[in-house]
Structure 1
Amino acid sequence: MTYTPRAVAGMLGIAPTTLRTWDQRYGLGPSVRTDGGHRRYEDADVDVLRRMVVLTSQGVAASAAAVLARQRPVAPSAGPRAPIDAAEALMAQHDFLDAAKRLDEPAMSGLASALLSGHGVVSAWESVFVPAMVALGELVEHTGEGVEIEHLASASVLHALRGIPRVSEPGVLAALLSCAPDEQHWLPLEALGAALSEEGCTWGNLGARVPAPALCDAAERLRPSVILVWAHRPDLAAQVPLDVLGARSDALVAVAGSGWDDVPLPASVHRPATLTEAIRLVLGRVR
């Protein structure tokens, strides 16, 4: 099966001129040309372009997104996976940070995918990704430079996390994940979602900066088993209507992130302290 450029543009919801630009600038073109020179896209070409659309919609620069879009996610290893030991974790952090400072997206994405495939989401996240991202955040805070490094590193980890196959069975969501209003850091939610995928759970992520009415409406319509809201600052956490969420959906409500440290929580609201605790909370509710 092959597709015309117009058909592909319609499938992806982009303009034909965008498709042509990506072909000319980044080489994201069709694999087939007819005898008359007409471009025809195969399914594999469309998959690459679909990843390109997702990455650019998340704010990744087109040139970086094109590199990441071409990379096929590493398939998870079969059977149980050993956690990353301390020596390997330090080496992986060093390699990831070194690639980040070189703005080497392929190296970061490849390392992230290999860690996820070999050791699973929880071990890779807690042993490598979190320490590395904290180090990059401190670099930006102390020097005022390196924002582009931090953004590309986040995009690389996000790309690898989204390579983990998601469960697409119909039915009640195990978890609905959301950022607090005006909260822009949603990568921890993607890590939780990927870990839930490894456990065979369905989940949805509303993403960054979710207004309170929108979160409540989604909770009422989707009626998930668990609702978890992320915030990294108290002023952002204070905007979340925790008392309304559970009542609107009958879900178990949980919160995560440092923004909740000094925020009084209703007795019914749970607060997992780690990724592992959040996974156990969802699994306990579902199973």
Structure 2
Amino acid sequence: MTYTPRAVAGMLGIAPTTLRTWDQRYGLGPSIRTEGGHRRYEDADVEVLRRMVVLTAQGVAAAAAAVLARQKPVAPTAGPRTSITPAEALVAQRGFLAAAKRLDEPMMSDLASKLLTDHGVVSAWETVFVPALVELGHLVVSSGQGVEVEHLASGSVLHALRGIPRTSSPGALSALLSCAPDEQHWLPLEALGAALSEEGCMWGNLGARVPAEALCDAADRLRPGVVLVWAHRPDLALRVPLEELGTRSGAVVAVAGAGWHGLELPSFVRRPQSLTEAIGIVLERAR
């Protein structure tokens, strides 16, 4: 397919004059000109411009960004992961949010995948994904708009998390993850699962809105080492049958999410305060 300059500007969320300037100054123009002299962009041209938009949003000077944008992305390779510095986290958040507000799902997915490859799940989740998603959530609450932005951003993070290979080695299920009944926020469970995959652990995720009896039945049948239940509101957390869950499954029972704040929990229930602590509970039981 080919696209007109106006269509490309709309896709990237930039002014047509900016597109014209990048063509004239940096040579980031269309590959095709019709017999009538009209400019037409191909998919490859749009991808270069997408990278240009992200780089300039991250504060890279336009001339330098144009050089980098022309370079084809290198496929990620396995290597030592490094923690994200505060400065790097702010730049990554800014780039991700800029792509989100343009509804540029391919770019969000690419950025998320690169963060996971370079820095691992815990670092990417805690320093970039959570702050960015929280900011988008505040935007929706304060303005009443932007739900589509928040949903696409969450979907892009989910897509990247699910790209982390899961272990295929036979063995017992290390963790069974589940939302409380009628709880719909299950992306944090996917983050925990992806982090467990990095550790070589087998895990399962029952997902959102799991009825209490279904959760107990699944834990009884699967016999995981740890059952962790997520809830972001107290009224949802109170519907989780913790006593029955612990008795029937024989697993370590853990709970996570803001919904458990201030609630009195049975003595056997663990409540990790961070993603790292939740991973530690699973690894401790798996040893």
Shift of 1:126: 0.3
Tell whether the 8 Å contact from 1:99 to 1:105 is kept in structure 2 after alignment: yes
1:127 counterpart residue number = 127
2:162 counterpart residue number = 162
1:140 counterpart residue number = 140
Please say which structure displays the higher CA radius of gyration.
Answer: 2
Counterpart-to-counterpart distance in 1, 2:211 and 2:239: 9
Tell whether the 8 Å contact from 2:178 to 2:205 is kept in structure 1 after alignment: yes
Aligned partner of residue 204 in structure 1, secondary structure: strand
Counterpart-to-counterpart distance in 1, 2:160 and 2:79: 20
Deviations 1:164-206 (Å, cap 9, x if unpaired)? 0001233311000000000000000000000000000000000
2:248 counterpart residue number = 248
Deviations 1:108-157 (Å, cap 9, x if unpaired)? 00000000000000000000000000000000011110000000000000
Identity of aligned residues (%): 75
Unaligned runs of 5+ in 2: 1-73
1:281 counterpart residue number = 281
| Matched residues, number | 214
Counterpart-to-counterpart distance in 2, 1:264 and 1:242: 11
Counterpart-to-counterpart distance in 2, 1:256 and 1:106: 31
Aligned partner of residue 169 in structure 1, secondary structure: coil
Output the TM-score relative to the length of structure 2: 0.73
Task: Give the AA of the match of 2:226.
Answer: V
Aligned partner of residue 106 in structure 1, secondary structure: helix
Aligned partner of residue 194 in structure 1, secondary structure: helix
Question: CA RMSD of the aligned region, Å?
Answer: 1.2
1:41 counterpart residue number = none
1:228 counterpart residue number = 228
Rate the CA distance shift 1:80–1:132 in 2: closer, same or farther, 3 A. Answer: same
Tell whether the 8 Å contact from 2:181 to 2:239 is kept in structure 1 after alignment: yes
Tell whether the 8 Å contact from 1:75 to 1:164 is kept in structure 2 after alignment: no
Counterpart-to-counterpart distance in 2, 1:214 and 1:154: 26
Counterpart-to-counterpart distance in 2, 1:181 and 1:249: 18
Q: Equivalences for 1:60-209 in 2 at 5 Å?
A: 77-209=77-209
Aligned partner of residue 253 in structure 2, secondary structure: strand
Tell whether the 8 Å contact from 1:180 to 1:212 is kept in structure 2 after alignment: yes
Instruction: Point out 4+ residue stretches in structure 1 off by more than 4 angstroms.
Output: 74-77
Tell whether the 8 Å contact from 1:76 to 1:164 is kept in structure 2 after alignment: no
